[in-house]
Every structure is written in structure tokens, then in C-alpha cells.
Amino acid sequence: MIPRRENRVGINVILLGPPGAGKGTQASRIAAARGLIHVSTGDILRDGIQAQLPMAMIAKALMDRGALVDDETIIAIVRERLMRADSHRGFVLDGFPRTVAQACALDAIMDERGHGPLIVVNLVVPEPELVRRLAGRRICSKCGTNAVQATASLACGQCGGALVQRADDTEAVVRDRLSVYRRSTKPLVDYYRERPTFRIVNGAQSQDGVANELEILVDDVIVSATASSIETLQY
Ligand code: AP5
């Protein structure tokens, strides 16, 4: 078994992938298993909408039609979160970066804060499966948790809140989100592809299968990072 090295090297994971690829699902699992913070820009925006924050209410109109929120706002949110002391052990970023401008900003943040390399994972899932997953997704109207799909329950297993469809999971908006992904986010694969810490994972297997692959590849990158210069591995 490969020894865990979390205490020596910060584990900083980015999950790239289209809407419905399983970024949120897997980010929660890695973060919980390794004691990392899970930073979901989508969840932060939805929490802000729930709390009726002015910034989030502007974002809501964009989110509801599947468009991206402006880079400046999103970068400021992530920067503030990654500069807090509780992120130094590592983080899992889910839904960020989504544009090349956001990826450049993240590199600058990593230069400033240090604490280990970026592990960049691209979750690949065929488009018909993405559409199927998002059409069937139900979330809790109170706590935002994804419902377990196998249950026919109408209530959230965590808090009992009513299960609803996300406003941007209607078929038309999903099509728009996929097209925004192809235009603005997919180019990030080329941005990161040459880095020694870039990996591709088949996201079209069971959730446990994806989680196992991620577990192995994170250990693999951490072992490489401790065997060579962390600074060299960062880019
Ligand atoms: P965000 O909330 O980030 O949405 P997304 O990227 O479109 O991703 P999803 O949450 O839809 O999917 P996911 O990949 O997390 O999949 P999940 O695990 O939930 O962003 C929403 C909006 O906020 C954006 O459109 C934009 O407006 C704005 N925004 C956010 N970040 C931004 C940024 N950086 N810049 C600008 N704007 C930003 O899984 C989906 C479903 O599939 C679930 O039901 C799940 O149970 C199921 N599932 C998961 N894995 C599997 C599996 N292996 N097999 C079968 N089913 C599975």
C-alpha cells in the first residue's frame, strides 16, 4: 500500500469536466476521505442566492440560463477561500477554473500561497450520459445535497427538505450549459495537458469506480511530488 503523505505536501485537486460529469460527487468524497476543503463555486453561488446576497442575485440570472458568471467575481471568491489557513492542507476545486482567465488567476494564487502542486483531473463522460444524469438529478431545496438517485423518496436523506429539480437542469438549459462548456471550459484541457500532474479519468463508470481511480492517481502524484521538486511539478 502506498503511504499517505498528506502531512508533508498539500493535496490540491482540480476536477475539470462538463456539467453532470460527477465533479461535485467526487469532490465531496475526496475532500471527506483526505480532510481537505471542498470548494464548489456553484454551491457558493447557490448559497449566496439562498441568503439573497446582492452579488449572488446578479449571478442568478446568468446561472438560470446556463451562462457563466464573470471571471472577476468568481476569482475573488476563490482567492479569498484559498488564502484561508484551513486550505493549506489542501483543497478540491469543483467548477473552477472554467475559463483560461480563471486558470491563469489560479496559477497566480498558487504562486502566492504555495503548499504543493495542483493535481488536475479531467473527468470524461459521453454527452448522452450527461444529459441523462442531469435530467434525473434532484437536489434538496433546503441544504442543496444531491438526492441518491436509486431512492424514490421525495425528501432529502440529510435534512428532510423537499427534493426539487435545479433551475438550470431543464433540458434546454442543459444544452446551453454543454455548449458553454465546449466553448469556454474545454480549452482548459489544452491549458493543463502538458503538466506532469494532469490526468484523465473515465467518469462514465460507477461512482465507486471513479472514486477508486481518483484515490490511486492522487497517491501517485503525491509520491512523485515528494520524490522530486514540488515546485517543478507545479507547472
Ligand atoms: P456548477 O454547480 O458548478 O454546475 P456544473 O459544472 O454545471 O456541474 P454540475 O453540478 O451540474 O455537475 P457535476 O459535474 O458537479 O456533477 P454531479 O456530481 O452533481 O455551476 C452552476 C452554474 O454556476 C454555472 O452554470 C455558472 O453559471 C455558475 N458558475 C459556477 N462556477 C463558475 C465559474 N467558475 N465561473 C463562472 N460561472 C460559474 O452529478 C450530476 C448527477 O449525476 C447527480 O445526480 C449525481 O448523483 C449523478 N452522478 C454522479 N456521478 C455518477 C456516476 N459515476 N454514475 C451515475 N450517476 C452519477
pLDDT by position in tens, the chain (length 235): 444 444 457 899 999 999 999 999 999 999 999 999 999 999 999 999 999 998 888 999 999 999 999 999 999 999 999 999 999 899 999 999 999 999 999 999 999 988 788 999 999 999 999 999 999 999 998 888 888 765 567 888 888 999 999 989 999 999 999 999 999 999 999 999 999 999 999 999 999 999 999 999 999 988 887 776 555 454 4
Q: What's the pLDDT score for residue 227? A: 73
pLDDT in the model for residue 226: 74
Residue ranges of alpha helices (H) inside the chain are 23-34, 41-50, 54-64, 71-82, 100-113, 127-136, 171-180, 187-192, 207-227, 230-233
pLDDT (0 to 100) of residue 3:
45
- What distance in angstroms lies between residue 225's CA and the mean position of ligand 1's atoms? 29
Nearest CA to ligand 1 atom 26: 68
- pLDDT at residue 119 in the model: 96
pLDDT of 158 reads: 86
Best mutation site among 39, 40, 133, 183 for ligand 1 pocket (most ligand atoms within 8 Å of CB) = 133
First to last CA, the chain: 28
Nearest CA to ligand 1 atom 21: 42
Confidence at residue 1, expressed as pLDDT on a 0 to 100 scale: 45
Minimum-distance ligand 1 atom for the alpha carbon of 15:
14
Active site residues: 23, 98, 137, 166, 177
Nearest-atom index, ligand 1, CA of 102:
34
Choose which residue among 16, 29, 40, 45 to substitute to test ligand 1 binding: the one with the highest number of ligand atoms within 8 A of its C-beta: 45
- Whether residue 116 has its Cβ less than 6 Å from ligand 1: no
Determine the 3-state secondary structure of 113 from DSSP: helix
